[in-house]
Homo-oligomer: A and B are copies of this chain.
Amino acid sequence: MRNFRLTAAAALLTALIAGPSWSYTPGTYEASAQGMKGPVKVAVTFSKDAVTSVKVTEEKETAGIGTTAAAELPRQIVEAQSTKIDGLSGATVTSKAIFAAVEDCIRQAKGDPNQPARSTAPKHAGKTIEAAEDVVIIGSGFSGLAAAVNAAEHGARVTVLEKMSVTGGASAICGGQWAIMGTKLQKKKGVPYDPPQALVYDLIGNGHLKNDLTTLTMFAENSPRAADWAINRFKPEFIDQKLQYRAEFQFDRSLYLKGGCGPAYRKVEKAVRDLGIKIHTDTKAERLIVKDGRIVGVEAHKKDGTKYIFSSKAVLLATGGYGANKAMLIEPLKSALYYGPASATGDGHRMAQAVGAKLELMEFGKRYPNGVEAAPGVAKSIIQGNYRAWLQSGILVNNEGRRLINEKASNHDILTVLEKQKDGMLYLVMDQATWNGFRDGVHTLGITDEDLEKWLAENGRKAPIFAHGSTLAEAAAAAGIDGGTLEKTVARYNELVKLGKDEDFGRPAAFMKAAISSEGPYYIVEQKPRFATTMGSVIVDENLQVLNQEGKPIPGLYAAGEIVNAVHGDDSSPGMNVAWGFTSGKVASESILKALGQLEK
């Protein structure tokens, strides 16, 4: 079905360059290194002049990211006879852990851990491959793959380009909340009535009148059947619970995928592969090919140097967001910390712009008030730690040591208060018991005890601020907070606890059962805005065909997923990105099929 033609000049040109020689004490050695979520253990077997096998014997990495690295890198290390190869983009922490552990084993076997890599993959440098497809899909997230499956099942020839070594972008790592309005599953879960109008109403409220109305109406009308289709087609596993109430919605819609988005994503990916659709990993789309005002293909570059020219009848941009690309960020996003995938660099937005597309809402992203700056400009979420802290006696203050808000207020309201602070942050103050709960909470988000130890050791001297002290004053000084006021604030909070009612800010009584201990130690943790998902969009019509500056469709060009997030307005609501990914992917593929004359088949 696929139709590859190597260009003559480059055909079959592969170069295997002879490498240096290796020497080891034969045997199997074991070692371990710290991965994303715990230790990664390896067992490496050596002959006297070669690494004969690498096995990852234990890991707790993120499904679909670290786990792919664990499955993929051992083979590559054996091939290269070295750890000096690229890690998997999107899984750097796990890659580094595997390399470190293997190097440990090499040292144990008296080999040289700095040996350069033996050239492995055939080199295509300078080679150009041409291929003809019906549809080229750029991006292997939920939106791209939903479109791929539906298009292929209606007989279209489809190929998928993915610039990272690891598939799935945000979709492979997302939290797993999925809003299932209007679906059979929602009805089965006891919510029989949730009409499209309710979704439009809710999203306009939460998107502050900024939503793109064309896609919003389309989303509302199509998401029930699209979700029914996705749930039936991919059989994702949900956590077995009732639909959850969310303040943003007038009907209960929120359900969680078991194990986050990862396992569901792998099922979608498997469906793609089972249909024989190729996902070209490490292959970055660089530009759209235009002929007579029509998009007729894509130029892409593979990491190994190969250039691809795909000609196609339709191109679908499913490239996700642009949060990882500082150059594309506008305030207030620019100064918020990013915690999304490295893949989100807005390539689709820019490729579309280059062929005349108009962008909108580029200044908006889904921001939360509870990140810590794990690396410069990069956040980790501590939201689950906070949740645990509110169950005990954690309070939020500013750098003057003052409480300003009910800690159980909505993210939006806390963010509003946070942004008014001169230093652009708030501080979570905890006694030892509260800290213990906080620590358990952040563990579930991939923050390890080693991370916490490291941050606490800095004691507020650099970001992220994890200050501590045996007295409140000591901890406050380390955090750069007014200690005198903080002591008064704590005393006042304890009074309110005794009273059983937060007369100052209305924290619910159920979350005011514990007083802040009069005995140290105390911990103070920074609270900075973080974001992963961006709202800036190409503008499309109801067929998800991309519009140019004059509002006319660009023939052959479609978009789906986060690159069309203006559907949500200036903020997206809980679980709506996953819902939108499937809906927009499905509808885009239907529009393309219609354009190809293939829908009624």
A366 at the interface (CB under 8 A from B): no
Which A211-236 residues have C-beta < 8 A from chain B?
A: 211, 213-214, 216-217, 220-221
At the interface with chain B, which of A107-115, A184-192, A197-205, A525-533? A197-205
Contacts of A198 in B (CB 8 A): 204, 209
Interface mask (A168-211 → B, CB under 8 Å = 1, otherwise 0): 00000000000000000000000000011110110011010111
Across the interface, A210 reaches (CB within 8 A) one of B197, B200, B216, B217, namely B197
Chain A contributes a number of interface residues (CB within 8 A of B) equal to 19
Across the interface, A201 reaches (CB within 8 A) one of B204, B214, B217, namely B204
CA of A569 to CA of B200 in the docked complex: distance in angstroms?
14
Across the interface, A213 reaches (CB within 8 A) one of B207, B211, B221, namely B221
Q: Given A213-B220, A221-B213, decide whether A200 and B204 contact each other with a Cβ distance below 8 A.
A: yes
CA of A210 to CA of B209 in the docked complex: distance in angstroms?
20
Interface of A is mostly: helix
Write the nearest CB–CB distance from A233 to chain B, whole angstroms. 24
CA of A197 to CA of B570 in the docked complex: distance in angstroms?
12
Contact B217 A197 (CB under 8 A): no
Shortest Cβ distance from A209 into B: residue: B197
Write the nearest CB–CB distance from A565 to chain B, whole angstroms. 15
Contacts of A197 in B (CB 8 A): 204, 207, 209-211, 213, 569
Shortest Cβ distance from A221 into B: residue: B213
CA of A214 to CA of B213 in the docked complex: distance in angstroms?
10
CA of A184 to CA of B213 in the docked complex: distance in angstroms?
21
Across the interface, A217 reaches (CB within 8 A) one of B205, B207, B214, B569, namely B214
CA of A174 to CA of B309 in the docked complex: distance in angstroms?
64
CA of A200 to CA of B209 in the docked complex: distance in angstroms?
9
Shortest Cβ distance from A211 into B: residue: B197
CA of A200 to CA of B212 in the docked complex: distance in angstroms?
12
Contact A196 B213 (CB under 8 A): yes
Contact B209 A201 (CB under 8 A): yes
Contacts of A207 in B (CB 8 A): 197
Shortest Cβ distance from A208 into B: residue: B197
Across the interface, A209 reaches (CB within 8 A) one of B195, B214, B221, namely B195
Contact A201 B195 (CB under 8 A): no
10 example contacts (A-B, Cβ-Cβ < 8 A) are as follows A195-B209, A197-B204, A197-B207, A197-B211, A197-B569, A198-B209, A200-B213, A201-B201, A201-B205, A213-B221
Beyond the given A197-B211, A201-B204, A201-B209, please list 16 additional residue pairs across the A-B interface where CB-CB is below 8 A. Answer: A196-B213, A197-B204, A197-B207, A197-B210, A197-B569, A198-B204, A200-B200, A200-B204, A200-B213, A201-B201, A201-B205, A213-B217, A213-B220, A213-B221, A216-B217, A217-B217
Per CB-CB distance, the 7 closest pairs between chain A and chain B, nearest first, are A197-B209, A201-B204, A217-B217, A213-B217, A197-B204, A195-B209, A198-B209
